[in-house]
Homo-oligomer: A and B are copies of this chain.
Amino acid sequence: IMALRARALYDFNSENPGEVSVKESEILTLYSEQDIEGWFEGTNSRGERGLFPASYVEILRNDAASASNNNSCSTSGDSRYANIPAGGFDGSYKPQNKVENFSKPPPPSLCSFSAPQGSDDDWDDDWDDNSTVADEPGTVGGRYRDFEGNGPSTYRVSTSSMQRANAQQAKSSATVSRNLNRFSTFVKSGGEAFVLGEASGFVKDGDKICVVMGQYGPEWQENPYPFSCTIDDPTKQTKFKGMKSYISYKLTPTHTQNQVNRRYKHFDWLYARLVEKFPVISVPHIPEKQATGRFEEDFISKRRKGLIWWMNHMTSHPVLARCDVFQHFLTCSSTDEKTWKQGKRKAEKDEMVGANFFLTISTPAAPLDFQEVESKIDGFKTFTKRMDDSTLQLNATVSEFARKQISGFKKEYQKVGMSFKLLSQAFEIDQQPYSAGLNQAISFTGDAYEAIGEYFAEQPSKDLDPIMDLLALYQGHLANYPDIIHVQKGALTKVKESQKHVEEGKMDRAQAEGINERCNIISCATLAEIQHFHHIRVRDFKAQMQHHLQQQITFFQKITGKLEEALQKYDNA
């Protein structure tokens, strides 16, 4: 039997153990035609064995391996991707391993967020509960690279996790490596197909998404029915007579006032749908997975806070908040299995994803000036780089500050407190009656300092953890933007190419005009998303800084109060 071979369509740089790097056009040997959760196992031309994304390669069935001069961006051929019909989606085919607006598919693990299609049965599998994910930091929550290690409460674990955070900071951000595969995101997101007029679908009225011209440029039309959603203290649930247990979160959206119960895996599933559907929208990352300690209070409380932040960003987003799959998630009764499964299947079969998403966007009448757009996008790119750097820096500093308060600061105040108490004990040996009051006052002062030490240790959870939660969420957004920018840049490049083709007489003006119009749609959506990002950024950082300062003020007032109490003890001493 002849070995199964494939050709790499894009560069892929391995980032985790078990993966293997491949170069565009490289010929690979596959072990099986069947992918594992979106990954192929095989050997590259250098003999290295490992996993690489199935969507990065085309399987070579005949002697196609020799025809290696194919345009890698070609939309025809027998690769999975090339199966998309040139005339647009017909709705009958949907690649199983669809790649979202991540430049790299999820790592091969049981935590894969692509719930295998057509099988509702395994929905009840407790893969988020009985996770077999390896404990290696590189694997757990690999998708949340920018989350992981910088997340809240990192300082609680050990100094080694601090070093990890610092190492990550040294790496600065993954944005650089992500951009190495030029244009791949553009292709994978469906951006290219859309710009080239290859996407088509039936857009229902309810699917229409409007970009309007606001004071500061294009913006998403506001949600006319804004709502929010609370996440109440999660409870531990059991099923199969206690054999399996999981954590259930109580969600209460303000627009229905009906409480629904959702598990982490539901969030995870929803996240995957959203990432798949919206190519130029920054879907907030859900909190990282954790293999161990899932039922520990600290972890549960931390994840809940992460989910609250996530929910807040979801309901704040004019497009995400209103989309069907999110509404299904928020409103479908937890006990109505049937309706849930219907909605689930519908979402998974949604046609208006990727390239087709752009079909649903309606733009302001006047087209944008592409030069201006380019300059805005470049400015935003610079901005995200700087914001990424400074949030990483702030996160490291704040995390270290928290650690110092919990260990060093506390210890210093408690040592002083102890010394005062020792002094008062020494003083008690002298039994002069006129000394008793002083001894008690010094002893109380010692207690006060020990209490202040405790205050310092307790404080970070009140005013530094929230900052770290905020930063983690924004680091997630910042990690999304390179791909979003990439889609817009890809569209703009197509416009430039088409102009050249027209000048060279290789393309008719009408076709170029279509590319212009579709690039305008992508640009409007991108700028609207950027505008939205700035708005929530200003809102969130303002609120969080205010909260932090208020907490700090309360903290220092509490210390002052304790010291005043101690001082009073000397009045009659």
Contact = CB atoms under 8 A, between A and B. Distances in A.
A541 B394 contact: no
Interface in A423-441: 423, 425-427, 429-435, 438, 441
B556 A425 contact: no
A216 B496 CA distance: 101
Interface string A181-198: 000000000000000000
A430 B570 contact: no
Interface stretch (A22-30, A42-50, A124-132, A543-551): A543-551
A390 B429 CA distance: 12
A228 interface: no
Interface residues of A, number: 63
Given A415-B401, A549-B445, A387 B426 contact: yes
Contacts of A389: 422, 426
B429 A383 contact: yes
Contact of A216 (B398, B400, B409, B432): B432
Contact of A538 (B394, B425, B434): B434
B559 A556 contact: yes
B383 A430 contact: yes
A147 interface: no
A405 to B, nearest CB: 8
A432 B545 CA distance: 19
Interface stretch (A236-244, A254-262, A560-568): A560-568
A167 to B, nearest CB: 18
A368 interface: no
Given A390-B425, A401-B412, A545-B441, A560 B563 contact: no
A420 to B, nearest CB: 7
A394 B537 CA distance: 48
Copies of this chain present: 2
B383 A545 contact: no
Interface string A500-518: 0000000000000000000
Given A434-B534, A434-B535, 6 more contacts: A379-B431, A383-B426, A387-B423, A390-B423, A401-B416, A549-B564
12 contacts: A216-B433, A379-B430, A386-B425, A387-B429, A400-B415, A427-B541, A435-B537, A435-B538, A438-B542, A550-B567, A553-B563, A553-B564
Interface of A: 216, 379-380, 382-383, 386-387, 389-391, 393-394, 397-398, 400-401, 404, 408-409, 412, 415-416, 418-420, 422-423, 425-427, 429-435, 438, 441-442, 445, 534-535, 537-538, 541-542, 545-546, 549-550, 552-553, 556-557, 559-560, 563-564, 566-567, 570, 573
